[in-house]
Amino acid sequence: MDDDRRPPSPEPSEQSVPQDTPRSVAGQADLAGVYQLMAQLLQQQQMMQMAAMPSADSCYERIRRLNPPTFEGGLDPMAAEAWIREIEKMFRALHFPDEVMVRLAISMLKGNAEYWWTAMETAYGYAVDRLTWRDFKRLFSTQYFSDSVNQAKQNEFLALTQTDQMSVLGYTNKFNELG
């Protein structure tokens, strides 16, 4: 009876499975299909993102419908601040990318402000495509907000106190205006 005993079967991990079994070939084909599908989906996603990126022309049409203010320059820093604040509000509402915001803002400059920008481009060789919105605002502020105006605004902010004649709402509004 000892002869009828069979040797123990090897552990499943020790069993050798030929690589070309129908099961392994099907698994490899499934894996290749998954990779191909993933590549196609990534390509479609990239194409959709590119299509979703607005062109400068379509952005110009969208902002034009909102009747944006133009800026002509001048000596009034409050007018410059109000212009920047107003167009930024429009840009945010329309979800414009940075480089489009700069191009659109430049197109809204008229008169002396337009001459100033032309001189900036000529003197410093600013490439509009590489200029960020933050850079544009810095250049704009340097031109239209003198150091003395900035200092006066800072002093007014630091000296702000609520008086008996000023309501909490009035104080809050002044604080937000100066901040």
pLDDT for 51-103, tens place per residue? 555 565 788 899 999 999 999 998 888 899 999 999 999 999 999 988 789 98
Task: Compute the distance between CA of residue 109 and CA of residue 83 in angstroms, rounded to an integer.
Answer: 10
Please state, in angstroms and rounded to a whole number, the distance separating the CA atoms of residues 148 and 146: 5
Q: What is the per-residue pLDDT for 20? A: 64
Asked if residues 71 and 142 have their Cβ atoms less than 8 Å apart, the reply is no
Rounded Cα gap, residues 171 and 169, in angstroms: 5
Rounded CA separation 80/179 (Å):
16
**Confidence at residue 9, expressed as pLDDT on a 0 to 100 scale:** 56
**Band of residue 50 on the pLDDT scale cut at 50, 70, 90:** low
Hey, which residues does 109 pair with through a beta bridge? 71
Residue that has been written with the tokens 């604080």 in this structure: 175
Q: What is the mean pLDDT of residues 106-116?
A: 95
Listed in sequence order, the residues at least 6 apart from 73 whose beta carbon sits closer than 8 Å to its beta carbon are 109, 111, 112, 113, 115, 116, 144
The confidence band for 105, taking pLDDT boundaries of 50, 70 and 90, is very high
Q: Does the pLDDT of residue 37 top 90, yes or no?
A: no
Q: Rounded to 5, what percent of the chain is helix, strand, coil?
A: 70, 0, 25
- Is 120 in contact with 139 (CB distance < 8 Å)? yes
Is the per-residue pLDDT at 40 higher than 90? no
Who has greater pLDDT, 178 or 124?
Answer: 124
Tokens linked to 40: 């196609």
The torsion angles phi and psi of 11, rounded to 5 degrees, stand at -60, 150
Element of type H or E holding 152: helix 147-159
Rg (CA), the chain: 33
Mean pLDDT for all residues in the chain: 77
Q: What is the pLDDT of residue 137?
A: 92
